[in-house]
A and B are shown apart, each in its own frame.
Chain A
Amino acid sequence: MTAVTTKPGLDQIWQWLDAVPDPEIPVISLVDLGIIRDVVWQEDTLVVTVTPTYSGCPATSIINLDIDTALRGHGIAKLSLKTQLAPAWTTDWISDKGRAALENYGIAPPQPAGGPDRCPHCQGRNLEKLSQFGSTPCKAQWRCRDCLEPFDYFKCI
């Protein structure tokens, strides 16, 4: 390859974005979370399309700032961030790598059944819901009746 590359490839850019942590749950990346919907070069401008998790998610502006900072740090000078509402974000877009990282961190990953599958601490299945909402808009609070530990559950939407 030539020494000077002004336009990094899209695979490379996805890799860089996969290194940007979610500001509220830093064990998973923005790519794992499924909120980066598209990355494309338009002439010499890189256009990154992001969708919000929840309408009022206070992290949205921080997320945009983090993307901006990361990509500029890799030398991308012309960058445009687009917000896209439709199709609305769904937890189905969280990657398998992201789901495993969530559970490792103590957050039960989303399940179509609407509740956690097992306790992220002891894998117990004797669970109860404490509250439909949690410390961030995307989480609910549950408790394991086996190990008695409370834990966050990533809401399925």
Chain B
Amino acid sequence: MAVDQGKLLEFLLRMGDNTLVLGHRVSEWCGHAPVLEEDIALANTALDLIGQTQFWLGYAAEVQGEGRTADDLAFLRDAWDFRNVLLVELPNGDFGQTLMRQFLFDAWSSIILDRLTASSDPRVAEIAGKAAKEAAYHVERSSDTVIGLGDGTEESHKRMQAALDYLYPYVGELFESDAVDAAMTEEGIAPDPASLRADYNALVGKVLAEATLRLPEGAYSHNGGRTGRMHTEHLGHMLTQMQWLQRAYPGAAW
């Protein structure tokens, strides 16, 4: 049975836009991190994420079949066309908030990429195989930092708890499903997002316990990013930075 190309495209945009938007956010730290080692680490993480984006959006552009490239998708779409979860477009905040967001994303990313290596779509499987190795490295580092800062000084603990309280209501969107997910699951291309939740809770729970941090109460979940229904105001502001050059000088190249 043929895969619905529109739904496959939607799935690929969700994967690629997550890494693109987070990659850009993390790159905003370049030259500003508290110490040189962290600056380099953040820049390298951003680089991995942008690299993964090139694979996801490159494949998305092929599936779309309109002669566009990964760069066209990154630089020439407007906010409402983006399919990333809201979590990754939120502003960096302080260093602790950036690393908490990174951890909450890395934990999900490492789990889903692992599952995607068994995708029935060989392109998806090979991109995931490459990205999974990087995600495993990322989650190791972001876990360590969350533990170090959470179980650190009174000030760092307070800030990490505040970051978690602010970010956690954005986590639920990673596990929502719609018709796109149903089609991907049925075709064996991607797992049902909800099926990742138990592993995610176990991983996040273990790290937060070590970090002496508490999950906030309340089940409210912000959403609308991965379906494109509604992004936060932050995405548009980010795109004015990220897309400025291609908008001002269309087609500019190295």
Contacts and interface: CB of A to CB of B under 8 A. Distances in A.
Interface stretch (A12-20, A70-78, A133-141): A133-141
A7 to B, nearest CB: 31
Q: Is the interface of B mostly helix, strand, loop or mixed?
A: helix
Interface size class of B (residues with CB under 8 A): 20 to 34
Nearest to A130: B37
B52 A85 contact: no
A155 B138 CA distance: 13
Interface in A67-116: 85-89
B40 A134 contact: yes
A131 B131 contact: no
B47 interface: yes
Interface string B122-159: 10011101111110010011001000000000000000
Interface residues of A, number: 21
B129 A133 contact: no
A131 B38 CA distance: 8
A137 B47 contact: yes
Contacts of B37: 130-131, 133, 141
A54 B126 contact: no
Contacts of B54: 55-56
A54 B129 contact: no
Interface in B153-195: none
Interface string B38-81: 10110011111111101100000000000000000000000000
B127 A132 contact: no
Given A55-B130, A131-B40, A141-B40, 13 more contacts: A52-B130, A54-B48, A54-B134, A55-B131, A56-B48, A56-B50, A88-B130, A88-B132, A132-B137, A132-B140, A132-B144, A133-B40, A157-B134
Interface of B: 37-38, 40-41, 44-52, 54-55, 122, 125-127, 129-134, 137, 140-141, 144
